[in-house]
């Protein structure tokens, strides 16, 4: 696979000023604590490119606190452009560990150590944007989890315009599903940006546009900066999450994420002998994974809200 961007020298940023790999900057004026998180998966280097760019530029908040987080430092340090998919994690997926039972358990792994180290910081964050990219072809989108306040923030952001409210993964809770961000009556909010294909400069550009717009929405960035006019945002709610049960899970054709299947009951995949069919008309396919292992999410199917 071609790698069109280079992982910058992260040496100046590894130590952090709050935690290893975490740079946190308070402003004199009060305001929210906003965190931009990169490299939750070590092979997704676009977010690290962006944070390096902002740190070198000396970005500071006009109010509140801004934290820039290189999440999975160990996996990121193993990124190899000759084998770019190999460094997603060291021991286990850092983005499946964010439930209280797992975080408080006696289990040990590289990623659990990192999650436990980052947890006190995230417990102070008011608004969090988790930057991700995608292996399989898909339109960019924002995932919001269950809280309506997260969907509302993503719709206000409008970059990218597709917002998907989902239930997460059977394999474990994501950072955006972590307790303070997911509490039904809470006021802290986390959203996840899937900005485009791994290792491409347009993906970094989408990350920068969305993150900069978030800083403007929250008041942390006040200077006027030109930005693209957002398309009218659309919200889709996941109606079924398909988790692969067999090694033979296969789509009938290589669907692209964002594809809309017009008719209910359309056969789209086989999982062993089980047929996977669309549950309703105008079914949005969210990030279909064209090679899926048992226990992993193969595709989410969603309905546009208001459609």
Q: What is the pLDDT of residue 228?
A: 62
pLDDT at residue 273 tops 60: yes
Taking CA atoms, 233 is separated from 164, 217, 264, 304, 306, in Å, by: 11, 16, 24, 11, 12
* Nearest residue to 163 (alpha-carbon basis) of 173, 172, 176, 175: 176
Share of the chain above pLDDT 70, in %: 97
**Rounded mean pLDDT of 128-147?**
95
Q: Using 50, 70 and 90 to split pLDDT, how confident is the model at 288?
A: very high
Please compute, for residue 26, the number of CA atoms within 13 A of its CA located in the half-sphere on the CB side.
5
The rounded distance, in Å, linking the Cα atoms of 12 and 9 is 8
The rounded distance, in Å, linking the Cα atoms of 38 and 46 is 8
- pTM reported for the whole predicted model: 0.94
Around Cβ 138, how many Cβ atoms within 10 Å? 22
Report pLDDT digits (tens) over 148-187: 999 999 999 999 999 999 988 888 999 999 999 999 989 9
Q: What is the pLDDT of residue 224?
A: 56
At residue 77's C-alpha, the angle toward residues 94 and 33, to 5°, is 55
Report pLDDT digits (tens) over 19-29: 999 999 999 99
């Amino acid at each position: 696979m071609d790698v069109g961007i280079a992982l910058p020298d992260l040496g100046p940023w590894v130590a952090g000023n709050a935690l290893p790999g975490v740079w946190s900057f308070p402003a004199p004026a009060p305001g929210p604590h906003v965190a931009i998180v990169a490299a939750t998966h070590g092979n997704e280097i676009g977010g690290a490119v962006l944070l390096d760019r902002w740190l070198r530029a000396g970005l500071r908040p006009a109010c509140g606190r801004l934290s820039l987080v290189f999440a999975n430092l160990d996996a990121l340090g193993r990124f190899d452009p000759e084998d770019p998919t190999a460094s997603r994690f060291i021991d286990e997926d850092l983005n499946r560990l964010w439930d209280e039972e797992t975080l408080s358990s006696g289990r040990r792994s590289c990623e659990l150590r990192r999650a436990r180290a980052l947890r006190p910081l995230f417990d102070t964050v008011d608004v969090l944007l988790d930057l991700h990219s995608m292996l399989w072809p898909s339109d960019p989108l924002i995932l919001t989890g269950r809280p309506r306040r997260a969907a509302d923030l993503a719709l206000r952001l409008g970059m990218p315009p597709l917002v998907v409210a989902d239930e997460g993964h059977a394999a474990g809770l994501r950072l955006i599903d972590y307790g303070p961000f997911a509490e039904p009556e809470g006021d802290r909010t986390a959203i996840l940006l899937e900005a485009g294909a791994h290792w491409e400069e347009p993906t970094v550009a989408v990350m920068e546009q969305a993150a900069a717009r978030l800083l403007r929405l929250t008041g942390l960035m006040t200077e006027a900066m030109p930005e693209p006019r957002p398309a009218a945002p659309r919200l889709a709610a996941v109606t079924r999450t398909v988790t692969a049960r067999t090694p033979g899970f296969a789509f009938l054709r290589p669907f692209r994420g964002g594809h809309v299947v017009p008719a209910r009951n359309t056969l789209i995949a086989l999982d062993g002998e089980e047929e996977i069919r669309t549950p309703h008309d105008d079914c949005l396919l969210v990030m279909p994974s064209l090679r899926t292992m048992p226990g992993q999410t193969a595709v989410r199917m969603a309905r546009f809200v208001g459609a």
